[in-house]
Amino acid sequence: MQQQTLAIIKPDGVARNLIGEIIGRIEAHGLRIQAMKMIHLSKTQAEAFYAVHRERPFFQSLTDFMSEGPVVSMILSGENAIQVWRDLMGATDPVKAAPGTIRRDFGQSIERNTTHGSDGQETAAFETAYFFSQIESVN
């Protein structure tokens, strides 16, 4: 199934000059980049993006981290794009992520885990619309 998903290179990835490395892996795995921008989220914008985690103990720390510096957000598309991107990233916790995945190779902690990806179709629809308007996404 052709899908779209939201990918974010988090502040720890941008700060360590990993943008090119990560985009290289995305392209090498056949995903298409349909939209892309760099943005420095405000704390309020990070809180709204991660609103589903509002009750989690790590919510404040997570939203501080996500607003500490710029991120690169992208809409990726392709066959089973949601799962393909999740597989490329690896498990949330870098120590549990499989060898060769982005989070295993670059993640610093369960929070500073370098990339984000939508976890399902509903989330992908919310998250892509949160970052991009229709005119910013190519067909």
Residues that bind ligand CMP (CB under 6 A): 53, 58, 62, 92, 110-111, 113, 116
Tokens read off for 86: 């999740």
Strands (E), the chain: 2-9, 32-39, 71-79, 115-117
Q: Residues 9, 114: contact at Cβ < 8 Å? A: yes
Nearer to ligand CMP, 7 or 35 (CB): 7
Other CB atoms within a 10 A radius of the CB of residue 81 amount to 25
What residue type is 52 in one-letter code? V
Catalytic residue among 29, 40, 53, 116: 116
Residue 116 annotated in active site: yes
Nearer to ligand CMP, 110 or 125 (CB): 110
Nearer to ligand CMP, 33 or 110 (CB): 110
Q: Residues 76, 88: contact at Cβ < 8 Å? A: no
Q: How far is the CB of 135 from ligand CMP (least distance, A)?
A: 26
Q: Side by side, which strands form the sheet with 2-9?
A: 32-39, 71-79, 2-9, 115-117
Q: How far is the CB of 139 from ligand CMP (least distance, A)?
A: 27
Q: How far is the CB of 62 from ligand CMP (least distance, A)?
A: 5
Which residues are designated catalytic?
116
